[in-house]
Amino acid sequence: MHVQTHARRTAAALAAALTWAGLVAGCTSHGDDDVLDKPPAPEDVIRVFPDDGSRAVGPGRRLRVRVARGRLESVTVVRSQDAQDSPVPGHLSADGRVWQPDDDRLALAARYTVDAVAHDGHGRRSARHATFTTFVPGRRFIAYVTPENRSTVGTGMIVSLQFNREIERRAAVERAIRVTAWPPVEIRPHWFGGDRLDFRPREYWRPGTRVSVTLRLRDLEGAPGVYGLQHKTFSFTVGRSQVSLVDAAAHTMQVRRDGRLIATVPITAGAPRTTTYNGKMVVMEMLEVTRMDGRTVGFGGEYDIPDVPHALRLTDSGTFVHGNYWAPGAPGHVNVSHGCVGLRDVKGGGPDTPAGWFFDRSLVGDVIEVVHSDDKKVAPDNGLGGWNMSWQEWKAGGAAQ
């Protein structure tokens, strides 16, 4: 009996100890449950790359929004650039855990704002707000495009892009420029050095063609540390066909409209010591009146005429078709110019003179071809002279072969 009583007391004490230990353990476990039940911080549920608050993020980084568990419910990204806010389109992965932009390149000199909502896998929603800014380049490149946007041009127009900086990654830049035509025609690029890229079809454009030039150069690295600035589209329309043939030996210019001869105009070409280039040249600009100073094109002080009328520029080096009032007897008889093609005109420019008639019927982009001059053929990069190259030669000048 004494032994049983002692045994009962021992068992009761042990039970009490176990109960107390269980209570203590239960309190501890309950405390852990409080920690586990506490909602995790949004940054632990939704991860944004680049990190919130990042600055000068480089162009090689990629924007991603991720959750380790659960699923993204919504992601909104806004890009602030050039004082404008633009939504950044993107898409979710099949499992809903990753969002990425449709265009994987980050814009430079921009501020990105990310707002995301996700379910964390326990039925709880979390929201995340993050911002970061991207690298601001110290050097940019742009392209000056010929012809002008929304212009109507002649059938010989060549699309020419003059870059303000030397381009080293020519293939990448070339692929970022798209020139298309309707009706469709094959158009190919040709580089002249590292700062000029021209586009043309095999033959002159068909009248009525609509041409579009799209530049996707923004933030493209054209040379080490030099990034593009433009993302835009230009367009122009091809008008009627006009091709004029200057015969320097016969002192005439035959003007053909849509293949039909409409006039033969007397001209004076370059004198024996200052001959006119042979070859196909394209009207680059048209000036009602301009000053022509021989010192600006490599001559001395042989001439400086302040009021040359009806001037159509053909080359960068200074070849024009223009009105001539100071040598009225020369057109049709003798070559007296310093390399230009002169048509009879009057001081101040007369509308009824041969020069005025031709000027009024011309467009930028018209073709003027010179033959039988005692000079070399005009260089393909002197003005829009690319028509003087064969199609094979032209195509060989592309960088993205």
The tally of domains found in the chain comes to 3
What CATH number should be reported for the domain holding residue 112? 2.60.40.3780
Q: Within this chain, do residues 156 and 219 fall inside the same structural domain, yes or no? A: yes
Kindly name the residue from 190, 251, 338, 340 that is annotated as catalytic: 340
Cβ count within 10 A of residue 224: 8
- pLDDT at res. 299: 65
Question: Containing domain of residue 182, as a range?
Answer: 139-239
Which segments in the chain show pLDDT lower than 50?
1-35
| 8 A C-beta contact, residue 253 and residue 276 | no
Q: Within this chain, do residues 182 and 54 fall inside the same structural domain, yes or no? A: no
Q: Within this chain, do residues 217 and 257 fall inside the same structural domain, yes or no? A: no
Q: Is residue 396, in this structure, part of any structural domain at all?
A: no
Q: Is residue 27 annotated as part of the catalytic site, yes or no?
A: no
Q: Within this chain, do residues 115 and 144 fall inside the same structural domain, yes or no? A: no
pLDDT in tens, 244-274: 999 999 999 999 999 999 999 999 999 999 9
Q: Is residue 356, in this structure, part of any structural domain at all?
A: yes
Q: Is residue 100, in this structure, part of any structural domain at all?
A: yes
Dist. CA 181–CA 188, nearest whole Å:
12
Query: Which residues is 293 bridged to in the sheet?
Result: 304
What CATH number should be reported for the domain holding residue 329? 2.40.440.10
- pLDDT at res. 59: 87
Q: Is residue 202, in this structure, part of any structural domain at all?
A: yes
Q: Within this chain, do residues 378 and 247 fall inside the same structural domain, yes or no? A: yes
Dist. CA 345–CA 296, nearest whole Å:
23
Dist. CA 271–CA 229, nearest whole Å:
46
| 8 A C-beta contact, residue 373 and residue 269 | yes
Give the HSE-up count for residue 267: Cα atoms under 13 Å, Cβ half-sphere.
33
Tell me the percentage of the chain whose pLDDT exceeds 90: 80
Q: Within this chain, do residues 182 and 257 fall inside the same structural domain, yes or no? A: no
Residue 349 — left, alpha, or beta (φ > 0 → left; ψ -120 to 50 → alpha)?
left
Q: Is residue 340 annotated as part of the catalytic site, yes or no?
A: yes
Query: β-strands 320-324, 341-344: how paired?
Result: parallel
pLDDT in tens, 84-129: 999 999 999 999 999 999 999 899 999 999 999 998 777 789 999 9
Q: Is residue 25, in this structure, part of any structural domain at all?
A: no
Q: Within this chain, do residues 79 and 165 fall inside the same structural domain, yes or no? A: no
| 8 A C-beta contact, residue 217 and residue 228 | yes
The whole-chain average pLDDT of the chain stands at: 90
Q: Is residue 175, in this structure, part of any structural domain at all?
A: yes
Q: Is residue 5, in this structure, part of any structural domain at all?
A: no
Closest CA to 268 of 346, 312, 329: 329
Kindly name the residue from 231, 322, 333, 372 that is annotated as catalytic: 322
Q: Which of 75, 109, 133 is the last residue of a domain?
A: 133
